[in-house]
Structures are given as structure tokens and as C-alpha cells.
Copies of this chain bind each other. A is one copy, B any other.
Amino acid sequence: MREAEIRAAALEEFVRRGYEATTMADIGAAVGMRGPSLYKHVSSKQDLLASLMHTTMTALLHHHDEAVSGVDDPVQRLRRAVDAHVRFHARHRREAFVGNRELRSLVEPHRSTILGLRDTYEQRFRALITDGVARGAFRVADPQLASYAILDLGMGVAVWFREDAGPSENEVAWAQVEFALRLVGAATT
């Protein structure tokens, strides 16, 4: 559908220029039409952003849930959660980048919705770490700081990861899973 092309183009422009600096004409040019014509397919620039961010956060949560589902051992759970986290941020770095940087540009009630989803996601990691500490698998002074640290690693990936240069997705995922396990004081295999 034309709308999907427009959303993809908008994402690309939001990454390159930022939401505020992107004009409807820019997005239009990227799909071969004039700015006003976009309104035959989308309702507004703001909706474009909100919808992109909502899709991203929902997909991230699904990705996480699938990764850890059925796994009980804290070390394995964390391993899978971080692997999923890193791979998501590598594969969907544009989406994740916009999701992290353009929160300011979201207008209520979208902002609160997205912040809620982000919070939910952070809680999963924090709970996972807290559980691991309680069960003696991890050794961490402050689970919240540890979960922030792990999440921040992923955000970083969205910023500097490149498909065509530098370490591959596998290399990054492997390295960061290792970092995360070391970070929480899990025994390294």
C-alpha cells in the first residue's frame, strides 16, 4: 500500500533530519509526490510519528516476550532477553532511533502511551535481574541501574550500528550478551 511507503519514507527522513526538521514536502519527495498529496493517505505528520513509535514499541515488547517465553533459568532468560534487545536495535535501528529521540516531539496523549510502553519494557528487565539476584544467579548492587545500563547498551546500538560496515549483528549480539552477563555478575561460561 502507498501508506506503507510513506511511513517508511517518513521514518527515513525523521532519522536523517529529525521530526521537527522534516517537512511534509521532504517525505513527499521521497515517495515521488508533493507534500499536500500525502494527506490522501495519512492524517497528519504527528500521527505518522505516533504511529511509527507505537508500532516500534509494540514490536519490541513482542520480540522480548517471545525470546524469554518458557525459559526459567535467570542466566538463560537474561541471555535471551539481551540477545533479542540487541538484535531488535540492530535490525530496526531506524525505528529504535526515532523511538528514543523523538519522544519530545510527541504530543499528548501519544507521549504518555509510549512512555508507558517504555516503562513496561524496562520493568521486564528489572524484574528479570531482581529475580536473578534473589535466586543467587546474579550479584548486583542496584538492579535498576543494571537494567538501565543494559537498555542503554541497546540504544547505543541503534545509534552506531551499520549494516554495511563495522561489526555484524551476530558479533554485536554476542559481545553485548557477554557484557550484560558480566555486568550483572553472572558466572561466565
Contacts and interface: CB of A to CB of B under 8 A. Distances in A.
A156 B167 contact: no
Interface stretch (A2-10, A13-21, A40-48, A126-134): A13-21
Copies in the complex: 2
Interface stretch (A62-70, A71-79, A142-150): A142-150
A16 B104 CA distance: 8
Given A145-B172, A156-B148, A156-B149, A105 B21 contact: yes
Contacts of A151: 156
Interface string A103-131: 01100000000000000000000000000
A153 interface: yes
A159 B174 CA distance: 26
Top 6 closest A-B pairs, CB basis? A152-B156, A20-B20, A182-B182, A145-B175, A179-B183, A20-B21
B178 A149 contact: no
B21 A104 contact: yes
Contacts of A135: none
Number of contact residues on A: which range applies?
A: 20 to 34
A101 interface: yes
Nearest to A156: B152
A104 B142 contact: no
Contact of A182 (B17, B142, B175, B183): B183
A167 B166 CA distance: 35
Nearest to A151: B156
Contacts of A1: none
A187 interface: no
Nearest to A101: B101
